[in-house]
Every structure is written in C-alpha cells, then in structure tokens.
Amino acid sequence: MMKNLSNSSHSTDFQHFLSIFLPFFNPFCFIISCSFSRSLVMSGGDIHAAARSGDLSKLQSILASNPLAVNSRDKHSRTPLHLAVWARQAQVVSYLCKQKADVGAAAMDGMGAIHFVAQKEHLEVV
C-alpha cells in the first residue's frame, strides 16, 4: 500500500530540500572534513606544548613543516596563541602573530587571546 506522492506539493518541497542540503551530507565530504579537522586538532599537541612552554625553536620547526598548524586547536578549541598568551610567552606570541595566527580566534568558552591578556594582566604580550 504505497501511495504515490510524486504529484503532491509535499514531495516537491522535500525534493527541493534534498537538492539543497544533500550535498552537505555527502559521506565522502564528511569523512574528509572530519579527517582534516581531526588532523588539525590531533597534530596540535606538540605545537600547543611548545607555545605554552615558550619553546620557540620547536615551534619554528613545527611551523616550517606545517604552516597551517599555527591555528590548530586543542581539545578546548584553544590555539597556540591562546596558550602562549596565557603562559606569558611574549617571544612566542610575537612569532605566532608574524606567522599569521588568528588573533580573533575564540576558544570553546568564547575566550580569545586578548581576553587572556586582560584576565591575567599580561600586557607585555600585546
């Protein structure tokens, strides 16, 4: 008992909906997107540790081989710049900015690097 809906307006609306949104749900694109996002997050461990500890040579080495890591995110969606500011690593902050770190990036809690500056009163890193 299947009803033919091909002439109904509901069917047309649904087909229109699918034609617009189905490309966004393509499993292949989803896998690539997740893979790329995961690689940015997962590869970020070393660069985040280097930024937090002020290890400029390690940071330079990582960015030389992977320039996109400059804006990688940790599990709290913080960038290396967030952590360098938090840890008062002025040289690292300067280097990350020269490497085009996203100074407006917000972490999971909505905090940007400038918020960390204000919160910790680390004006020397501005």
pLDDT tens digit string along 30-61? 433 343 444 444 445 799 999 999 999 999 99
- Looking at residue 15, its pLDDT comes to 54
pLDDT digits (tens, 9 = 90+) for 83-103: 999 899 999 999 999 999 999
Domain locations along the chain: 30-125
- Per-residue CA distances from 78 to 11, 50, 66, 93, 125 (Å): 44, 14, 18, 14, 17
| pTM exceeding the 0.75 threshold for the entire prediction | no
* Window from 8-17, 44-53, 99-108 with minimum mean pLDDT: 8-17
pLDDT higher than 50, residue 26 = no
Quick one: CA torsion of 56, 93, 49, 62, rounded to 10 degrees?
-50
For all residues of the chain together, what is the average pLDDT? 74
Q: Is residue 78 within 8 Å of residue 48, measured between CB atoms?
A: yes
**Where does 3-125 have alpha helices with state H?**
9-21, 27-42, 44-53, 56-65, 80-86, 90-98, 113-120
Is the CATH code 1.25.40.20 the one for domain 30-125? yes
